Structure 1
Amino acid sequence: MFEKAAERGTSIGIFCTASYWNTEAILIAAQRIAEKYQIEKVPVVVATTFTYPHMPQCRRFLYCQDPKTGILSHFAYLNVLAGSKYSPYKNVAVLPHLDHANPVRDRWALTCALPYFSSVMFDAQLYPFEENMALTAEYVKNYGNDVLVEGILESLNVSDGAVATHIDNYCENAVKYVKTTGVDFAVADLGTEQQSTSVGKARYDKARARELTAALGRKMLVLHGTSCLANEQTRGLASDGVVRVNMWTRIAREAGQHAAEQVVSRMDKINAGDFNSTESMAYMRDSVEKAADIMEEMMELFGYANLA
């Protein structure tokens, strides 16, 4: 699916979620695209991390912060929204994804919870390159027939201070990594920063993406840290070999900012005790609408119109 979509000029969006409202916002955006271009089933990857230290999204679904309960409740909710005959999002093909799963810390999610996912990111980036390859290859051998596996060559920059590691002879080692591990997708360092606090300051490394794709012989790259890029930098990624584009931070941040601004604009009514202005659903709806708007715009930039 992903390589064929890329050949048509489309990169499939991986939109992360850590809340029920954000999950529905993803489906709203995809349904809008389906209706706009008359597409029967719009593919979108709905992703969440388990206990990823930089952003443990499954802990954020519920007040109790239990990741197992969080992930199970997420899938129950997602199934009702997208899998029910009563679903208002019938034109969305949901592809659940486990993001940034550590081989040890997230073992339960990588094994026991595997039936819930269509793909996983087996994240061994903290291990030395050779050990990373060995661990990833073992996982692909054991579970590669059950799920698509996304692997990562090296550590990436994260806004909280984690700094990318850089392997020598990058393209040569990328080819070695893919051949040795048998992964379906490869996360490459293309100049971005994960969980960035700003937009447009990073530079997407188009030349490296194209060089990697040529060396690998097929389109299989995954871009992380998309939140740090200006919109125009995300246009035409499929032509560079980027088949999946991972994004969350900017969406959640800007949706929250918008919702907060709306709260301020209602402050007189809130102080007067107006129920509809005060009840938390107002904030949630503002967040959902803004998040859906951003993701719809990103799907346009990713080339979803080409799926029509």
Structure 2
Amino acid sequence: MALVTSTEMFKKAQAGGYAIGAFNVNNMEIIQGIVEAAKEEQSAIILQVSAGARKYANSIYLRKLVEAAVEDSGLDIVLHLDHGENFDIVKQCIEDGFTSVMIDASHYPFEENIRITKEVVDYAHAHGVVVEAELGRLAGVEDAVKVKKEDATYTDPDEAVEFVERTGVDSLAVAIGTSHGAYKFKGEPRLDFERLEIIGKKLPNTPLVLHGASTVLPEFVELCNKYGGNIPGAQGVPEEMLRRAASMNVAKINIDTDLRLAMTAAIRKFMYENPSEFDPRKYLGPAREAIKGMVKHKIKDVLGSSGSNLK
């Protein structure tokens, strides 16, 4: 088994009507929890590294941890750059051994987004690496990505076709109403499935990606708040909506906030119940188990990708 690109994973996901979970990683315990869950479920997985993760842990450290996870688990794993800000960062991550990269030029005008993305695609493909890009802008906050609600825009289906044809990008992140962070909706959650269906029909061979797709699981929010947290009104994407999206050409669903909440809830609970404990292994162990349990749930009940590593 090895670090691989997402090409074959996405083909199988599209044919099978499920999605691959793309989980953001920041340290060893997060990686271990995700990979242990995927191993038990025999699910394909993508581990992705954001700007904040690179700043916190350094992409080289994370790559080595992911390589250890491949060796330990026997799984094929995609190592993906999430929200690459520019060509230089993408180039560096390719040189560091990433097998998949995202160039996010969605905040530029359409023609500039195409120009930047095409430059990245040409370089990445020459080095055997696949590329994800974004068209449309998601609201919310995630590490270096900060977009006000009034600046968010949905993906135009006709522009999506032109964008894919002119850039040669391997997968496309679309904006249909999801958003980054723990506060995705005020009021009733709504995704534009009609728009998603049109894009899928116009681009049947292009895997689509949903960013900002954490559910913000209530049990973890409640645990955080019970043990000293202050996360009022957090609301994510309902799981039934994600299951529906996974059957509509969405081959990759990004999950980050749910990982943070699961880990923080477990740590808060442990520290509250064990105030004299100061061994990091004692509270990071339960945090790792909380992540593992949450990821297993996502794989089985939301993404539908159990057994996909065997297909």
Length-normalised TM-score, structure 2 = 0.81
Match of 2:219 in 1: none
CA distance in 1, matches of 2:288, 2:156: 40
Matched, 1:193 2:175: no
Cα 1:186/1:161, change in 2 over 3 Å: closer
Letter in 1 for 2:139: N
- How far 1:101 sits from its partner (Å)? 0.3
- How far 1:166 sits from its partner (Å)? 2.6
Match of 1:153 in 2: 135
Match of 1:209 in 2: 196
Match of 2:94 in 1: 114
3-state SS in 2 of match to 1:240: coil
Letter in 2 for 1:170: D
Cα 1:209/1:198, change in 2 over 3 Å: closer
3-state SS in 1 of match to 2:252: strand
Q: CA RMSD in A?
A: 2.1
Match of 2:83 in 1: 100
- Post-superposition Cα deviations, 1:90-146, rounded to whole Å, max 9, x if no partner, equal 2x2111000100115xx1x31133041121111111211111111111221222242
Letter in 1 for 2:289: E
- How far 1:220 sits from its partner (Å)? 1.3
Residue correspondence of structure 1 range 199-278 to structure 2 within 5 A: 202-227=189-214, 228-267=236-275, 270=276, 277-278=277-278
Aligned length: 271
Which structure's CA Rg is the greater one? Answer: 1
Contact between 1:124 and 1:152, CA under 8 Å: does it hold in 2?
yes
3-state SS in 2 of match to 1:226: coil
Matched, 1:299 2:292: no
CA distance in 2, matches of 1:214, 1:151: 19
CA distance in 1, matches of 2:203, 2:70: 35
- How far 1:22 sits from its partner (Å)? 0.8
Residue correspondence of structure 1 range 50-69 to structure 2 within 5 A: 50=51, 56-61=52-57
Letter in 2 for 1:60: Y
Contact between 1:101 and 1:123, CA under 8 Å: does it hold in 2?
yes
CA distance in 2, matches of 1:9, 1:296: 18
Letter in 2 for 1:295: V
Structure 1 unaligned blocks of 5 or more:
35-41, 51-55, 62-69, 271-276
Contact between 1:262 and 1:283, CA under 8 Å: does it hold in 2?
yes
Residue correspondence of structure 1 range 158-177 to structure 2 within 5 A: 158-159=140-141, 162-163=148-149, 164-166=151-153, 170-177=156-163
**Identity rate, percent:** 24
Match of 1:280 in 2: 280
- How far 1:292 sits from its partner (Å)? 1.1
Cα 1:193/1:112, change in 2 over 3 Å: closer
Match of 1:74 in 2: 62
- How far 1:283 sits from its partner (Å)? 1.3
- How far 1:286 sits from its partner (Å)? 1.3
- How far 1:306 sits from its partner (Å)? 5.9
- How far 1:198 sits from its partner (Å)? 6.1
Contact between 1:151 and 1:183, CA under 8 Å: does it hold in 2?
yes
- How far 1:289 sits from its partner (Å)? 0.7
CA distance in 1, matches of 2:270, 2:203: 48
- How far 1:219 sits from its partner (Å)? 4.5
Matched, 1:126 2:113: no
CA distance in 2, matches of 1:9, 1:306: 13
Length-normalised TM-score, structure 1 = 0.82
CA distance in 1, matches of 2:184, 2:278: 30
